Amino acid sequence: MREVWVYAESEAGRLHPVVDELMGEGRRLADRLGGSLGAVLLSPHDSLAGELALWADRVYVTPDPRLDRYTDERHSQLLARLIEAYRPEIVLIGGTRRGKSLAPRAAARVGTGLIADCTSLKLDEDGLLLAALPTFGGRLLATIVCPNHRPQMATLVPGAFASGPKGAGGKIINYPWADPEAGTVKVLEQKPLPVDDRPLKGAEIVIAGGRGMGSRENFVLLEEVARLLGAAVGASRGAVDAGWTGPGQLIGQTGAIVRPQLYIACGISGATQHVVGMQRAEVVVAVDKDPKAPIFDLATYGIVGDCREFLLELKRRLPAPCSADEENQGKND
């Protein structure tokens, strides 16, 4: 039976949201192949296996306490062993920061190729995976195949795929981690990066800043406006490279893909690599001092002007969010 596998990334006992999309795409490919869907869980939190079994026909789980802290070495070693033991046809991994680090290592260990950052997948008549991804700076859509090696492995851009139905009631298979290789990496401490409290994925409003924001101070102003609007904070590569916000806020070809109802772009020129991440927004408001900036080509409303002035004005006009006490008071009135 030809099997499509999904690597189920998890952290602190919770599945990464990208797993939802991988399962949807994995099921679609498995049905098309006439095969089954498998999920791989390398985590001591084996309660997640039950959750995965709602999607997958088989869940391969190694609930070893040594896997509590993720390392590329351990997880790629174990994923490669599982692949060699069960020989899946296709392996899908989320194009998250961790997935992008794990996938090439696992692929190299099993001697196969890796198709990175796919935004859509198809199968041809022979079960060959046709993976589409933007190339030449997003100007072309390339189709990449892996004809001579198995499994066919790919990382999928988070946000580009639809989630799938649950209800499979799959079988859970325990795979013990015998004889681990001596690792060279020891994790001493883990500290979460400061991230914006509203996740980009699923946000109804996104306000994003680019190089035109000019400074970290101005980016803080944008974050304040985001809180007033109840929006998630996004960024272009220009702002991330300047260090005004973290890579988790990046939108575009190498970042997140968002589909909000409202997208406000401040000081973002509209490079194709950015646009692929936000072009599905329902309404786009763009603020740029250059009237010829390409972002105006797709903006619903364009404001030619200084983004700091725009944000100060917006902040002045937006009502302050009411505190929990005020909200309760309102309910009691």
Ligand X SMILES: Cc1cc2nc3c(=O)[nH]c(=O)nc-3n(C[C@H](O)[C@H](O)[C@H](O)COP(=O)(O)OP(=O)(O)OC[C@H]3O[C@@H](n4cnc5c(N)ncnc54)[C@H](O)[C@@H]3O)c2cc1C
Measured in whole angstroms, the distance separating CA 68 from the mean position of its chain's CA atoms is 21
Nearer to ligand X, 42 or 157 (CB): 157
List the beta strands (DSSP E) in 88-203.
90-94, 114-118, 120-123, 129-135, 140-144, 152-156, 171-174
Nearer to ligand X, 127 or 214 (CB): 214
Q: Say if CB 117 and CB 95 are below 8 A apart.
A: yes
Is 159 one of the binding residues for ligand X (CB under 6 A)? no
Is 288 one of the binding residues for ligand X (CB under 6 A)? yes
Quote the least distance from Cβ 183 to ligand X, whole Å.
Answer: 32
Total binding residues toward ligand X, as defined by CB under 6 A: 28
Q: Say if CB 52 and CB 43 are below 8 A apart.
A: no
State the DSSP code for 213: G
Is 22 one of the binding residues for ligand X (CB under 6 A)? no
Is 284 one of the binding residues for ligand X (CB under 6 A)? no
> Which residues in 176-235 contact ligand X (CB under 6 A)?
210-212, 214
For 102, other C-beta atoms within 10 Å of its C-beta total: 23
Nearer to ligand X, 112 or 218 (CB): 218
Among 203, 229, 299, 307, binds ligand X (CB under 6 A): 307
Quote the least distance from Cβ 304 to ligand X, whole Å.
Answer: 9
Among 96, 152, 236, 249, binds ligand X (CB under 6 A): 236
Which of these segments, 42-50, 123-131, 164-172, 251-259, binds ligand X (CB under 6 A)?
Answer: 251-259
Phi, psi angle pair for 39, to nearest 5°: -125, 145
Nearer to ligand X, 151 or 209 (CB): 209
Among 76, 119, 245, 254, binds ligand X (CB under 6 A): 254
SS3 readout for 67-104:
HCCCCHHHHHHHHHHHHHHHCCCEEEEECCHHHHHHHH
Per the listing, tokens 């030619």 go with 304
Half-sphere exposure of 40 toward its Cβ, with a 13 Å CA cutoff? Answer: 25
Alpha-carbon distance of 5 to 91, in angstroms, equals 5
Among 137, 199, 230, 321, binds ligand X (CB under 6 A): 137
- Measuring CA to CA, which residue among 152, 118, 114, 121 is closest to residue 134? 118
State the DSSP code for 177: -
Q: Say if CB 181 and CB 67 are below 8 A apart.
A: no
For 256, other C-beta atoms within 10 Å of its C-beta total: 23
Quote the least distance from Cβ 170 to ligand X, whole Å.
Answer: 35
Nearer to ligand X, 180 or 294 (CB): 294
Is 237 one of the binding residues for ligand X (CB under 6 A)? yes
Among 268, 281, 284, 299, binds ligand X (CB under 6 A): 268
Which of these segments, 95-103, 148-156, 269-277, 318-326, binds ligand X (CB under 6 A)?
Answer: 269-277
Which of these segments, 15-23, 88-96, 198-206, 284-292, binds ligand X (CB under 6 A)?
Answer: 284-292
**Chain residues that interact with ligand X, rule: CB under 6 A:** 137, 210-212, 214, 236-239, 250, 252-255, 267-269, 271, 273-274, 277, 287-290, 293, 306-307
